[in-house]
Structure 1
Amino acid sequence: MDPSEVEFIAEKQSVTIIPNFSLDKLYLITGDLGPFNPGLPVDVPVWLAINLKQRQKCRIVVPDWMDVEKLEQIKEQERKENTFTLMPNPHYMELTKLLLNHASDNIPKADEIRTLIKDTWDTRIAKLRLSADNFVNQQEVHAKGLTPHPKSGTAVSAASHTALEVSAYMIC
C-alpha cells in the first residue's frame, strides 16, 4: 500500500465538528450523518470535516490525542525506550498533516504539534530501520551457521507500527 492509499483510508476516521448550518441528515452509502445544528458538535469523517471547513461551514474540534503535553510524553517515551510506543491513533501522522494543512486556525499550538509529531515520526522510522537492519544481520549470521549475539536485535511487533510507517519504510 502506498502513502496516498494510507491517507485515503485515514480520511475515513471520525472527527468532531461544530457546524454553523442546519441540516437534518446526510444519507451516505457508509451511513447517515447528522443532524447538523449550529453550535452542536457532531462526528463526521475527516474528508467531510475538511470539505465543510473549506466551505466555512464548520469548525473542527481538535482530537483529544492532539494535545501538546500528551505528544511531548509520547516523544520522550519513544526516544527513551528501545521498543515502539503504541501511538494514540493508528493514523496519527496522516490526520495531523490533514488537519494542520486544512484547519490549523482551529488548532491551538499547531506549530508545536507539527514539530512533536515530526520528531516522533523521525525517531520511529530510525528505530524501524535499525530494527530491520538487525534482523537482516541476524539472518546473515544464521545463514553462515554462526550464533548471533544475544543482544543483537530488537523485537518488533507489527501492532506497534502504523500503516504509513510500514509503507514509508518499504519505499525507502
Structure 2
Amino acid sequence: MDASEIEFLGENETVTIVPNFSEGRISLIQGDYGPFNPSMATLVPLWLAINLRKRQKCRIEPPQWLNVATLSATKTAEKDSSVFTKMPSEHYMEVASLLLNNACDDVPSADEVRAVVKDIWDLRLAKLRKSTDLMIRQQETHAKLDNLTQMEINVVRPFLTQALDHTHFLRMNATRHSAADDTQTDSIATPF
C-alpha cells in the first residue's frame, strides 16, 4: 500500500458534524447516514464530512483526541517510553492532516495541534529508525513492533526491505566465500 491508499482508509474514520441543512437519510455504498438537521450533530465518515465542509454545509467537530492537552500527553508518554505507545487513533496522522488542511477553522488551537502532531510523528519515526538500525546491526531477520500505524510502517517499509535484501546478499556471499576457502584448504591438505 502507498500513502494515498492508507489515507483513503483513514478517510473512513467517523467524525461528528453539525450540519446547517436539512436532508433525510442518505444511502451510500458504506451505509446510511443522517438524517441531517440544522444544529443536530450526526456521525459520518471523514471523507463525507470534508466534502460537506468544503461546500459550507456543516461544521466538523474534531475527534476528542485532537486537542493540545491530549496530544501533549501522548507526546510525553511516547518520549518517556522505550517502546511504541498506543496512539489515540490508528490513523492519527491522516485524520489530523485532513482536518487541519480542510477544516482548520473547526479545530481549536489548530497551529499548536499541528505542531504537537508533527512532534509525535517525528518522535515515533526516530524511534522506528533506531529500532530498524538496531535490528540490522544485530543481524536479526524479523522483529515484532507493536502499536505502529499503517502510515508509519509504510514510511519504513522501502528502507527496511532494501536493507534486509542487502544483508541477505552479504550473508550469502560470506557463506560462499567461506565454503570456497574451506574447499581450497581441503584440496591443499589432501594428498593425492
Q: Does 1:58 align with 2:46?
A: no
Structure 2: how far apart are the matches of 1:59 and 1:104?
Answer: 11
Which structure has more RCO (C-alpha within 8 Å, separation ≥ 6)? 1
CA contact (8 A) 1:17 1:58 kept: yes
Structure 2 unmatched runs, 5+: 160-192
Matches within 5 A, 1:22-101: 22-101=22-101
Q: CA deviation at 1:156?
A: 4.6
Q: CA deviation at 1:6?
A: 0.3
- 1:3 alignment counterpart: 3
| Cα shift readout 1:139-167 (whole Å, capped 9, x = no counterpart) | 17x9xxxxxxxxxxxx7534x10000000
Structure 2: how far apart are the matches of 1:107 and 1:23?
Answer: 25
Match of 1:162 among 149, 170, 180: 149
Structure 1: how far apart are the matches of 2:107 and 2:128?
Answer: 30
Q: CA deviation at 1:137?
A: 1.2
Query: TM-score when scaled to structure 1?
Result: 0.88
Q: Aligned residue pairs: how many?
A: 158
SS in 2 for 1:139: coil
CA contact (8 A) 1:20 1:38 kept: yes
Q: Does 1:125 align with 2:125?
A: yes
Structure 2: how far apart are the matches of 1:41 and 1:156?
Answer: 41
Residue identity (%): 50
Structure 1: how far apart are the matches of 2:46 and 2:73?
Answer: 25
Post-superposition, which runs of at least 4 consecutive aligned residues in structure 1 deviate over 6 A? none
Structure 1 unmatched runs, 5+: 143-154
Alignment RMSD, CA only? Answer: 1.4
Larger radius of gyration: 2
CA contact (8 A) 1:84 1:156 kept: no
Q: CA deviation at 1:116?
A: 0.3
Q: CA deviation at 1:53?
A: 0.2
- 1:135 alignment counterpart: 135
| Cα shift readout 1:118-149 (whole Å, capped 9, x = no counterpart) | 00100100100110111111117x9xxxxxxx
Query: TM-score when scaled to structure 2?
Result: 0.79
Structure 2: how far apart are the matches of 1:2 and 1:49?
Answer: 23
Structure 2: how far apart are the matches of 1:79 and 1:70?
Answer: 14
Structure 1 window deviating more from structure 2 (131-140 vs 47-56): it is 131-140
Structure 1 residue identity aligned to 2:145: S
